[in-house]
Structure formats: C-alpha cells, structure tokens
Structure 1
Amino acid sequence: MAKQDYYDILKIDKSASATEIKKAYRKKAIKFHPDKNPDNSEAESKFKEAAEAYEILSNPDKKARYDQYGHQAFDGNGGFSGGNMNMDDIFSQFGDIFGGGFGGGGGFSGFGGGGGQRRIKGTNMRIRVKLTLEEIANGVEKKVKVRRKVQAPGTSYKTCDACNGAGQVMRVTNTILGRMQTATTCTSCGGAGQIIDKKPNEADAQGMLVKEETVSIKIPAGVVDGMQLKVTGKGNEAPGNGVSGDLLVAIEEEPHAKLQREGDNLHYDLYVSLPDAVLGSSKEIDTVTGKVRIKIETGVQSGKILRLRGKGIPSINGYGRGDLLVHVNVWTPKTLNKQQKEFFESMKDDEHFEPKPEIGDKSFFEKVKDMFS
C-alpha cells in the first residue's frame, strides 16, 4: 500500500516555512494524541504518521531529498519507520515541539515534564556502501558487518536517586521578578533516569559492550551517489530502557568500465571500423541488464547517437527507466600498408567519398542539445 504524501498528512504546501511545518505538526499531534484518544488505534496511527512527516519535513536535507525522490529516498530497510515506533520513541524525539500542549507540566505523558521517565536514544552510526552500476539498476540487498554498542548481558539498572527517575532536576531560584523554577538535565544519570546497579567487568561505565553484528540493508533500484538511507534501530544501543540509534548508509557509486551515468540515462561509446561504417555491421554491447546486439546501418556517420529505450537506470520515484545512448565513433586508422594507402589514394576524387551532409544530419551542437533534452 502506497504511503500518503507527507505534505497531505500535515495539510501544508511544499512552500510552507519551518514555522508553518512545526505549527501544522503540533496541531495534528494534539488532535490525535493518545491521552485524548484512549484505546483508539486509528488515532494512534495518525499520530505516528504526523510524527513521521514532521521528522522528514523539518529537516532541510531530508526535505530536499523527499521533494526530489519521494518516499523511496528513505527506503532501504529504513526511512523514518514511524509506524514501528512506540509512543515513548516519538516523545523522545519530538517532545520539544509540544510545549505546554497537555496539562500544566509542560509536556505529554511519557516525556519530560509529564512525570514519565525519559528515554535516551543511542548514537547513530554511519557507514558507506559501494554499489556497482548493475546493483543500482536492479536493486540489491547488502549484508554488512558493523560494530555497535549493545547492553552487556547481566547488566542491571536502578532508578537514579538524584532525580527519582525523571531525568531532570528542578531548581527554584529567587530573582527580582520572583521565584523562578527551571529544569536541568540530571548530572548523575545524564538524563536517563537510571544508573548502573550491576555490570560485568568487561562492560564500560554505562554497562555497554562493542559487538560485531551482520545487518541486512535493502537498497532500492535507482539510488544515486551520495544518497543516504537509514536502517532504524541498528545504531548503538542506549543504556537502560533507551532507544537504539540508527544506522545511516551513504551510497557510493563505483565507476563502470564502459558505461557513464547521467541521471537515469546511460552513455556508451561504440567504436566502429571504416569497413563496418561503410558496409554496415552488428555489434554486441554491455548494458546493466546484460549484453545486447545492435545493428550498425550502412554508411553510419561518426557522432550518430543510437537510443535504446528502457535500457538505462530505473527512476527511484517509480517513473519508468532511463535510456541507453550509444555514441557511434568511426575509427580512422593512423597507419596503412602500401596496398591500403594506394586504395585510398585512388578514392580521393571518387564522388562516393565526397562529404555530402543531408538536411537531416544534425550538427554536433544539435546532438548535444538532443542528448540533454
């Protein structure tokens, strides 16, 4: 089932400012918040949809990629995956947006001032994955080994005495304007609300170990060099009841020996001999889906572009495939033997060897213009 457009979810235009995006999300979140819609699975689903839309559209880099590539810019076993997050996960990432939306505590239940325990998110990890042009054209599933922090077996935690599990410490100070109450992150637990109770000797101060793990990454067809995918929850784990970070996967396109990519189109330089150009021939060339044989017509001119439709790269937005443009280059020999030289000497004044461009023969600049149109 196709995902709903993020702009439609928040009911905003693509030209909406950051302030308008934030305001639209807050309105949606308040409307469908679980505290106002108890035991309502549809409201919970819409609440998560709004969180997912805001996570993308509030980030300028992610918004730009979404505007260009749509949902597939974040598909790779990842994207935001808001539908797979529980409410605490969303609160931990977006609590600051709500302000005093619910109750006098200045936050929702499950986050910050609502009295619930904060959930710390583990740090993200970044890796680079190299892909061949064939893998990009067909999509691929890559299995990579990563070394990530995980909670050590046998580690247990207890509620932080300094903040009573809130993760924050309230301080009251006297000012000329009266008594001011402020909340600061608890220095004893770092905002987690929990501290180490027991841990094995090999674990670090937070009860974590570094473990090697194999992660499967589904990479859709049509990705581009520099694009970043996200595998949710495969970054470093967080201590206690925290949320795991994400694995950010940067795509690196490996150069192809014979094909050059330009967007969704591919270019191939085909060199043919004078006899093949004069008499016509057929040639086998490489494509991203295997080899194909093409016909070289009699009298083909150097610079001729043959277009093989649908033999390029699939659009990451699902708008079909690009084409393979075959650039014909007639190869002129630099050295000739006596017999060959005599033949061409005798053909110098032959009318069949006189250049006679036809009206339909395009100039170099016209060919370049067609190539980019």
Structure 2
Amino acid sequence: MADHYEVLGVSREATPDEIKKAYRRLARELHPDVNPGEDASERFKLVTHAYDVLSDPEQRANYDRGGDSPFGGAGGFGGFGDIFETFFGGAGGQRNGRPRSRRERGQDALVRVTLDLKDVVFGVHRDLEVDTAVLCETCDGSCTQPGTSPVTCDICHGTGHVQRQVRSLLGNVVTSQPCGSCQGYGTTIPYPCATCQGQGRVRARRTVSLDIPGGVETGLRLQLPGSGEVGPAGGPNGDLYIEVTVTPDPVFSREGDDLLATLEVSMSDAILGTETTIESLDGPVDLEVRAGVQAGDVLTIKGRGITPLRGTQRGDLRVGVHVVTPTRLDAKERALIEDFAKRTKAPAPQLAEFHQGLFAKLRDRFRNA
C-alpha cells in the first residue's frame, strides 16, 4: 500500500494547509473530467483516499501510529488498539458489516412560552415561531444535486469499511475500520446539493400551532412528538418541548386548581351586609357579602377556578374578606361610632384561641407575592 504522504507529495510534517493545497493541485490534474486515462483515474482514487485520511486529525494520528498501514508501526507490529478493535469493535466500526446510514434522527428542540394566569384558566392557542432544521426543498433530503445520486465508494465497494491484515503478537489478524474515503457510508456524493451543502436539511423559521391546555403551571414541559429538527439526509424529526412560565397576576393567585383573591369590605358593609359584582378572570361574578362577615372569612364561588390539566371540573374562586377600618373620621362620624359602641356594649379586647385558618394562608401568600 502506497504511503499517503508520498501519494500527495508532502512530508510527514506537512501542515493541514499544505496537505489541502497538494490535494487540490493533484485533483485538478487527475480528475476524470480533465484526465480520462485509466492510470489517472486510479491515481485520483489514491489521492482522494490519502487526503481523506490525512485531512482528518484523528485518522492522521492513527495512520502515523501505523493504523492505516499493512504492518502496523515502525516496529512492524500493530498496536493493542487494533487487536481490541478486531475483537470488540472500535469506535465507529461496522461490526455488523453494513455501512452507516446517512439518515439520522433529528435533535429535540426546546421552546419557552410565557402565559398569563388567565391563559391557564381555560387553555390558550399559540402560534410559535421556531428556528430549526427543516427538509431541504431542493434535494428533498437526498443530499445530492437534482438529477444526480450517490455513487458506490470505489475504496470499500459499498461496504462502508475496509479490512486490513495486521501482524500482531497474536499472529496475523484482520482489522475492520470505517472507510476513510466515504466515512463509513458506503457511498460518496460527487455532486452535493448546493442549497444544503450535502446535508439534506437547512436552517429556517417555521410556525408551530399549539393548543396549550388549561391547568398548566410554571416549569411544566409539553411534548410534541415529531415536531423537532429534521434529521440529516431527511431523517425523522426529533421532538419539540414547550416549557411553560406563568407570570404572576396582581389580583389573583393560584392554589392547586383554585383561584385566590382578597376582597376589601368597608366596616359598614361588613356589619350590614351587601351585594357586589367582582371581575373574575373569565368575566363578572355577583357576590353576596353576608351581614356580620368577619375579617378572614372566605367566600367561595364554585366553578370559577382553573380547569385541571387532566379533567373537566373547574376549581373554585375563593375570596378572603379584608375589613377596612376607617382611619380618618370627622366629628359627626366619630360621635356616631361612639354612640354605636355605647349601645352595643362590646366586651373589652382580649386574647382568643390561636388557629391558622384559610384566610391566614391567603394573607401570607399575598404578603410574600
């Protein structure tokens, strides 16, 4: 087997640029379109194979150690790496004897979407712009220019790997390595698609329509199978993951599938009771405040909470009452309050049994929001 450095006419210390320049010079001289002779064709194959090996740093290092010669390194014996690759399969080796497929599954993609709490009540439809890999329309994933197709590799004859006999401490063994000319695919692409550079896919922005269900919460990921990046050579798409973030609402908070809110009630309305209309996240709701309502009482409005992620029964809207005590009174108002206090003869303030009620939880939540 000819020495790759001699085939390209460069020294063993040649830089990558020197190797590339030598290959280009010889390729222009020996290309079948320029030099149709049979000898030139054979030399062109040798030059191409030599360049494929020496232009790849890993393959070149392996070749310099003797991995690409019939008798191993300077001492005439293959390294132990060749032996282990023979019996256990080296990295990228074709243990099943078949060439690699250019078609591979595409990568998964992650998109983050921000929702308002109102979107969580019923769910929402979103059209998302995704920057991803899509199928090349020019070659339809074939990686070749229209009207052309991959050709069988002349070095490995379509197997995707080459075998070499190596003399080792265990005797003569046969090693199998990916073909350096076709990179293990078994075929080469003499005329790659100009649009995708022979990849079968291009980067583009596309729109993904998504129905986000009700009940989602911050940190939840929704999976859309097959909506990720298309794979090389038109391989199957990966998956698309949608990560949800729900922005805090200034009025409402969430506890499970229930919505929490605070209703400020004047002292007179708390004593006498009243009816009012509040704005929930899905429209106005009539609410009755009973006479004698206490600060911390919770008024529940059934079915005005969040639609659960799995299910149809909505949660409740729970409204904690906050009685607002007036801080500024004129003389007449103060006299009325004093007269009221004398008539009711309320007991003096005293300590009561401590309990952590629901409204206390609501109050703590709002304080920490």
Give the TM bin, normalised by the shorter chain.
0.5 to 0.7
Q: Aligned pair 1:150/2:134, yes or no?
A: yes
Aligned residue for 1:124? 108
**CA pair 275-369 structure 1, distance change in 2 beyond 3 A:** closer
Q: Aligned pair 1:232/2:225, yes or no?
A: yes
Cα pair 1:278 1:300 within 8 Å, conserved: yes
**CA pair 226-164 structure 1, distance change in 2 beyond 3 A:** farther
Aligned residue for 1:214? 207
Measured in 2, the distance between the counterparts of 1:224 and 1:134 equals 12
Measured in 1, the distance between the counterparts of 2:226 and 2:277 equals 46
> What is the CA-CA distance between 1:266 and the residue it aligns to?
1.3
> What is the CA-CA distance between 1:286 and the residue it aligns to?
3.0
Measured in 1, the distance between the counterparts of 2:298 and 2:225 equals 44
> What is the CA-CA distance between 1:129 and the residue it aligns to?
1.1
Structure 1 vs Structure 2 CA RMSD: 4.0
Q: Aligned pair 1:351/2:344, yes or no?
A: yes
Q: Aligned pair 1:273/2:266, yes or no?
A: yes
- Structure 2 unmatched ranges of 5 or more: 1-88, 145-149, 363-369
Measured in 2, the distance between the counterparts of 1:323 and 1:248 equals 30
Aligned residue for 2:293? 300
> 1:36-55 maps to which residues of 2 (within 5 A)?
none
**CA pair 147-169 structure 1, distance change in 2 beyond 3 A:** farther
Deviations 1:112-149 (Å, cap 9, x if unpaired)?
Answer: 94848644111222111112222222122211111222
Deviations 1:185-223 (Å, cap 9, x if unpaired)?
Answer: 777777777765545545356253222211111222211
Measured in 1, the distance between the counterparts of 2:317 and 2:109 equals 37
Cα pair 1:112 1:166 within 8 Å, conserved: no
Cα pair 1:270 1:326 within 8 Å, conserved: yes
Aligned residue for 2:59? none
TM-score (normalizing by structure 2): 0.58
**CA pair 172-132 structure 1, distance change in 2 beyond 3 A:** farther
Aligned residue for 1:57? none
Aligned residue for 1:250? 243
Measured in 2, the distance between the counterparts of 1:363 and 1:171 equals 86
TM-score (normalizing by structure 1): 0.57
Aligned residue for 1:44? none
> 1:305-344 maps to which residues of 2 (within 5 A)?
305-318=298-311, 320-344=313-337
Aligned residue for 2:125? 141
Q: Return the letter of the residue paired with 1:283.
A: T
> What is the CA-CA distance between 1:277 and the residue it aligns to?
0.6
**CA pair 188-248 structure 1, distance change in 2 beyond 3 A:** farther
SS in 2 for 1:258: coil
Measured in 1, the distance between the counterparts of 2:261 and 2:239 equals 39
SS in 2 for 1:334: coil
Measured in 1, the distance between the counterparts of 2:345 and 2:188 equals 91
Measured in 1, the distance between the counterparts of 2:334 and 2:160 equals 89
SS in 2 for 1:349: helix
> 1:25-104 maps to which residues of 2 (within 5 A)?
none
**CA pair 183-255 structure 1, distance change in 2 beyond 3 A:** farther
> What is the CA-CA distance between 1:310 and the residue it aligns to?
2.5
